Structure 1
Amino acid sequence: MLKNLFAPLQGYTTGIYRKAHAEIFGGVDAYYTPFLRIENGKPREKDLRDLEIANAECANSRCTDIAEENAREIPQIIANSVDEFKILADALIAKGYMEIDFNMGCPFPMQVNRHRGAGILNDKQTVQEIMDEIRKLSSVTNGTAPAMAKVTAPIKFSVKMRLGQDAPDEAFALLPILNEAPLSQITLHPRLGKQQYKGAIDFKSFEKFYEECRHPLVYNGDITTVSQICEMERRYPKLAGVMIGRGLLAKPSLAAEYKGMRDINCAAPLNSNTHQNLLGKLFQMHQVIFDHACKTNQGDSQILSHVQSFWEYLEPSIPKKNFKKIKKAGKLSEYQEAIMEMRGLS
């Protein structure tokens, strides 16, 4: 069975979202956080606060499981130099995290232009320096960070990347460096950074990477159905897992459906998650997020900015009339009225 990993999406997979999804839908083996980045020479405070929301339920850090299924929460960092990487990694290690993911795949110009995310893929020297730092931090005896004094087991590092920013050659030029690094896994999205999320996926290059990569490899990109997960499992028997972002936002039951079907037959028809059951769980999850937004924000506009986005990728699952009312609501009372009206349909 392939691992199902929840990809991070800035502004959507917040701490409270991850916690609620794990409790209500489940099926996910690990939740990756939106990336932690440097701001004014130190870890961005907003990103650190988001980690704290689900921290008390996180198996990866100093406490217990994020949910009954033992899903892990893995923080992701983005950096353009070994110095930035060290600052961010040290901050997470100090908080008790034992797994850290390094983002070399973010395609958005704001990060790429700062030599972060996919923008670092054409810089072999910087990637080598960061992999050397990972080698140090992965060893308890050789760790140099002050926080390492508290560490009693090796820190695990993974990488999420693209084929390159401008050409697939960039990923293959880095592969010898990555193969020699002590990584727990590599997640590959087989597009270029300049494509962002458009254009065809380069399966030919993915297959080449799959054959040459020495680490457990996870596939990421355009997974939206159980049949697609099953096809990846059939097509790539050595594949460690799939990382799903928008597909899980659009259908939060996707990972659980895959696990339920896999025990019987990957080609079996779905019968455990009807549309009505999905809506019922969506309302449960929404209530958790809504209550949290009301407790942590003031004023209608702030609260609405946090709860309206919950429905954005779910548009195909709910009636168009209800979706329009939710999206157009400018007051909290209008929003609640739209939700109550939709709940009457479930």
Structure 2
Amino acid sequence: MVDCPVYFAPLQGYTDAPYRNYFHTYFGGVDVYYTPFVRLENGNKFRNRDISDIDPLRNSVPILVPQVIASIPEELRSILCLFEKQGYTRADLNLGCPFPLLVKRHKGSGILPFPEEVEALLKVFLEFPAIDFSIKARLGWESADEIFRLLPLLEKYPVSRVVLHPRLGIQQYKGKTDLKTFSRFYELCPVPLIYNGDLVTLEDIECIIADYPHLAGVMLGRGLLTDPSLALTYKSGTKLPDSEFRERLYCFHNALLQYYSSHYQGGDHQVLAKMKTLWEYLCPDMDRKLRKCILKSRNLDAYRSYVQEILKK
């Protein structure tokens, strides 16, 4: 009996509300979905797409956790007020984003070298007792020692769980995960710990759970973008027949295509740009010639034709 919860990682540009909703409809296997991070832009204004993405009326997955990225308490407080207003009782603080433009502003993994700044953010949690907080972090920005400076803060402030990706921010998504340091943190972490990073096959998931039997869950990101049936396979213990997988993927894809076609105002070009992002990861072992044709499509008719050919083989 599988009892390790599966979390879907927040992936900017990929896992928006329609993606999450249709993924849950056609594949599933995920217990908890995270939204890409909500942030404030110049003038302390919310991005319209962020407000739309977390709107409860636009989300139909069972459990959705909105994620926030901030560097100062005032930012965090404003965003958490939005979450509370929308009725959310769970929230996640991003301490892991490795993108340089945000890192240099002490956001994401860029704040990890400054534990006093992290503590200033965690103090804000005390102002929202109705919200259950988690943290998604990396080992540090440029030193794996940085994550260990947070251990006393996890006992001092209301943090219910930690999702840890065992890479440094400066690595981006390159190089190997540092399981040696993860193991040290696993032994010392005073709150439930979720593993995230390079879980792209069923064997990857099973090995991590076997090595760390007290994990509170596993978080899948690029593994689900590549194989949307991965969580379902793990939960059911059975891989979908190829014909059923292709049929589900075809329905999932077409539901997304129909949604973006009816909601985007920029015409074919905008819809194509959005749909092509799916194929940056999706099913890399499928016909490579057809995949290249999909990515080079210049109109929706050609795009649809190539997608049907690759998925209906």
Structure-1-length-normalised TM-score: 0.86
Instruction: Give the whole-Å Cα distance in 2 for the aligned partners of 1:158 and 1:340.
Output: 41
The equivalent residue for 1:322 is 290
- Do residues 313 (structure 1) and 304 (structure 2) align? no
Instruction: Give the whole-Å Cα distance in 2 for the aligned partners of 1:208 and 1:336.
Output: 49
Q: Is the 8 A contact 1:315 1:323 kept in 2?
A: no
Within 5 Å, which residues of 2 pair with 1:130-279? 130-138=121-129, 154-261=130-237, 270=238, 272-279=239-246
- Do residues 284 (structure 1) and 275 (structure 2) align? no
The equivalent residue for 1:295 is 262
- Give 3-state SS (helix, strand or coil) of 1:159's partner: strand
2:254 maps to amino acid? Q
Q: What displacement does 1:244 show?
A: 0.8
- Residues 61-115 of structure 1: CA deviation (Å, up to 9, x unaligned): xxxx52xxxx311110100111111011111111111111000000111110111
Q: What displacement does 1:180 show?
A: 2.0
- Give 3-state SS (helix, strand or coil) of 1:190's partner: strand
Q: What displacement does 1:195 show?
A: 0.7
- Residues 235-289 of structure 1: CA deviation (Å, up to 9, x unaligned): 112110111100000001111111112xxxxxxxx5x412222111111101110
Instruction: Give the whole-Å Cα distance in 1 for the aligned partners of 2:145 and 2:284.
Output: 38
Segment of structure 1 superposing worse, 227-236 or 288-297: 227-236
Q: What displacement does 1:317 show?
A: 4.2
Instruction: Give the whole-Å Cα distance in 2 for the aligned partners of 1:327 and 1:113.
Output: 33
- Give 3-state SS (helix, strand or coil) of 1:338's partner: helix
- Residues 29-48 of structure 1: CA deviation (Å, up to 9, x unaligned): 11111110111212222211
User: Gaps spanning 5+ residues in structure 1: where?
Assistant: 59-64, 139-153, 262-269
**How much identity, in percent, do the aligned residues show?**
41
Q: Is the 8 A contact 1:8 1:245 kept in 2?
A: yes
The equivalent residue for 2:57 is 56
Report the number of matched residues: 309
Instruction: Give the whole-Å Cα distance in 2 for the aligned partners of 1:136 and 1:213.
Output: 24
Q: Is the 8 A contact 1:43 1:87 kept in 2?
A: no
Tell me which of 46, 54, 62 is aligned to 1:43.
46
The equivalent residue for 1:105 is 96
- Give 3-state SS (helix, strand or coil) of 2:165's partner: strand
The equivalent residue for 1:84 is 75
Q: What displacement does 1:133 show?
A: 1.0
Instruction: Give the whole-Å Cα distance in 1 for the aligned partners of 2:37 and 2:297.
Output: 30
1:48 maps to amino acid? I
Tell me which of 25, 28, 36 is aligned to 1:26.
28
Instruction: Give the whole-Å Cα distance in 2 for the aligned partners of 1:158 and 1:77.
Output: 11
Instruction: Give the whole-Å Cα distance in 1 for the aligned partners of 2:167 and 2:312.
Output: 42
2:203 maps to amino acid? S
- Give 3-state SS (helix, strand or coil) of 2:262's partner: helix
- Give 3-state SS (helix, strand or coil) of 2:219's partner: strand
Q: What displacement does 1:230 show?
A: 1.4
The equivalent residue for 1:15 is 17
Instruction: Give the whole-Å Cα distance in 2 for the aligned partners of 1:320 and 1:163.
Output: 36
Instruction: Give the whole-Å Cα distance in 2 for the aligned partners of 1:167 and 1:85.
Output: 25
Instruction: Give the whole-Å Cα distance in 1 for the aligned partners of 2:171 and 2:121.
Output: 25
Structure-2-length-normalised TM-score: 0.95
User: Gaps spanning 5+ residues in structure 2: where?
Assistant: none
Instruction: Give the whole-Å Cα distance in 1 for the aligned partners of 2:308 and 2:182.
Output: 46
- Give 3-state SS (helix, strand or coil) of 1:183's partner: coil
Q: Is the 8 A contact 2:95 2:108 kept in 1?
A: yes
Instruction: Give the whole-Å Cα distance in 2 for the aligned partners of 1:42 and 1:179.
Output: 33
- Give 3-state SS (helix, strand or coil) of 1:304's partner: helix
Instruction: Give the whole-Å Cα distance in 2 for the aligned partners of 1:343 and 1:316.
Output: 13
- Residues 176-206 of structure 1: CA deviation (Å, up to 9, x unaligned): 1123221121000111101111112111111
- Give 3-state SS (helix, strand or coil) of 2:136's partner: strand
Moved over 3 A (4+): none
- Residues 95-143 of structure 1: CA deviation (Å, up to 9, x unaligned): 11111100000011111011100001011122111111102212xxxxx
Q: Given the superposition, is the C-alpha separation of residues 340 and 238 from structure 1 closer, same or farther in structure 2, using an over 3 Å criterion?
A: closer
Q: Is the 8 A contact 1:168 1:192 kept in 2?
A: yes
The equivalent residue for 1:123 is 114
Q: Is the 8 A contact 1:111 1:119 kept in 2?
A: yes
The equivalent residue for 2:87 is 96
